[in-house]
Amino acid sequence: MQNPSKARQYNTKDWLKWLVPVILSILVTIATYFHTWIEDVYSISIYPYIAQFLRQITGWLPFSIGDILYFILGGWLLIKVIKTIVAAFRRKITRHKTVRRTFRLARMLMWIYIVFNLVWGFNYHRKGLDHQLQLPTGSYSSSEVMHILDEVIVRLNENRLLISKDTILPIQSFKEMRSGAVESYRLAAQKFPFLKYSVTSAKASTYSSLAKYFGFTGYYNPFTGEAQLSTKIPEVMKPFILCHEIGHQVGYAKENEASFAGYLAASASNDPYFRYSVYLDLYSSLRSKLVYTKFAEKDTAVIEILSAYNQKLDTLIRFDRRKIREYFQRNQTAVSEQTSNVVMNMYEQYLKANNQSAGLKSYDDVVSLLIAYRRKFGRL
């Protein structure tokens, strides 16, 4: 007969395994509704120390710790799936084991959810850049988008000629580009102190060769504090994408805010390559938003307008844009397209679950911040 004291001890221990993560998960979820507390206490006062601590641990290593951890996790999951399939064929899966494994998985997911929010995820619920800059956000018209497009085209033409007067663009090493991105944030922080970035942890992704098949150009690992850049993408895209990922490190979880932080940094750079890269990306976002606003205003002449804007671009810029399109088309096989669609759909659901209802379209929401910025300061 089982000792009653041991049974009570087991039950108490078993309950504690559940009680702690359940209570913490509830508290974390409740905390996400307190946007002012998250902005003023977590994002401004607590998160910077967490981020710097993680970057101190991982930044000195020449390789990505996060990529290795994801590889180990993927291998572990694969082994678990294979074992489950084998057990199913051998009819060794019982209802008791299934229930136990399901509850164990649920408990593990709760701990991931807790840690994710504590080390970074709360930033999805902060008030953000429009609050910090006191920007007059709100609805905007196609004419406002067109005004910014005109400004961006001027900046594009200017900076493209500063880089090179032919189709050959310079190639920077990852180390040079990383230094340029850090310097860009240093310069931007002189005007916007909340962009201060210290302790660098930016890495060339180990999965760069695979990333092109999944549609990723870079990502931020919240568990290791590392910014990752795919090194196989067109050179001209890299400076802004790296600034975007550092924007996540600085504490802007939403994609449009990370892009805007990247814009403030890259546009402040002394390197025309960084300025050109950010304006080239913004040009694409602005074109997308112009189509959206024109159709919302029932103006169907948008194709002619886009064509006219395209003609305002220097021929070298049109060449660069064509090379970018060709790169993505070249890597768009039937298999990669299906794989990319699956991954992007999963990422879309992730974004929506983290306070970005527009999903993947939230990247283009940087336009609303640009317009609000221009309303306040009169220019980009």
Percentage of the chain with pLDDT > 70?
86
Please say if the pLDDT value at position 300 is more than 90.
no
Please say if the pLDDT value at position 62 is more than 70.
yes
Cα(328)–Cα(169) distance, rounded to whole angstroms? 18
Please say if the pLDDT value at position 119 is more than 90.
yes
Q: Which amino acid is at 82?
A: I
Give how far Cα 282 sits from Cα of 16, 198, 290, Å: 51, 26, 12
**Coil, helix or strand at residue 228:** strand
Helix segments in the chain, DSSP class H: 4-31, 35-37, 47-58, 65-89, 95-119, 129-132, 142-163, 174-191, 208-214, 238-250, 255-267, 272-296, 302-312, 315-330, 334-353, 366-377
Do strands 218-221 and 202-204 pair parallel, antiparallel, or not at all (unpaired)? unpaired
Average pLDDT over residues 32-43: 96
| Rounded (5°) CA angle 268-269-275 | 90
* pTM score, whole prediction: 0.88
pLDDT attached to residue 104: 84
pLDDT attached to residue 139: 85
Please say if the pLDDT value at position 11 is more than 80.
no
How many Cβ atoms are within 10 Å of 324's Cβ, its own excluded? 15
Average pLDDT over residues 14-26: 87
pLDDT, tens only, 123-177:
999 998 999 999 988 888 889 999 999 999 999 999 999 998 888 888 899 999 9
Average pLDDT over residues 296-314: 88
Q: Identify which of 225, 248, 282 has the alpha carbon closest to the alpha carbon of residue 124.
A: 248
Please say if the pLDDT value at position 54 is more than 80.
yes
How many Cβ atoms are within 10 Å of 293's Cβ, its own excluded? 20
pLDDT attached to residue 360: 43
Q: Averaging pLDDT over each range in 189-198, 281-290, 319-328, which range is the top one?
A: 189-198
Q: Which amino acid is at 249?
A: Q
Q: Read out DSSP for 50-75?
A: HHHHHHHHHTTSSS-HHHHHHHHHHH
Place 28 in a pLDDT band, splitting at 50, 70 and 90: very high
**Coil, helix or strand at residue 10:** helix
**Coil, helix or strand at residue 218:** strand
Mean pLDDT of the chain: 86
pLDDT attached to residue 334: 42
Top pLDDT among 341 and 376 is at 376
Average pLDDT over residues 71-75: 88
Percentage of the chain with pLDDT > 90?
56
pLDDT attached to residue 346: 54
pLDDT attached to residue 6: 47
pLDDT attached to residue 12: 64
Top pLDDT among 212 and 120 is at 120
pLDDT attached to residue 126: 95
pLDDT attached to residue 363: 47
Top pLDDT among 148 and 5 is at 148
pLDDT attached to residue 1: 46
pLDDT, tens only, 211-258:
777 777 889 999 999 999 999 899 999 999 999 999 999 999 999 999
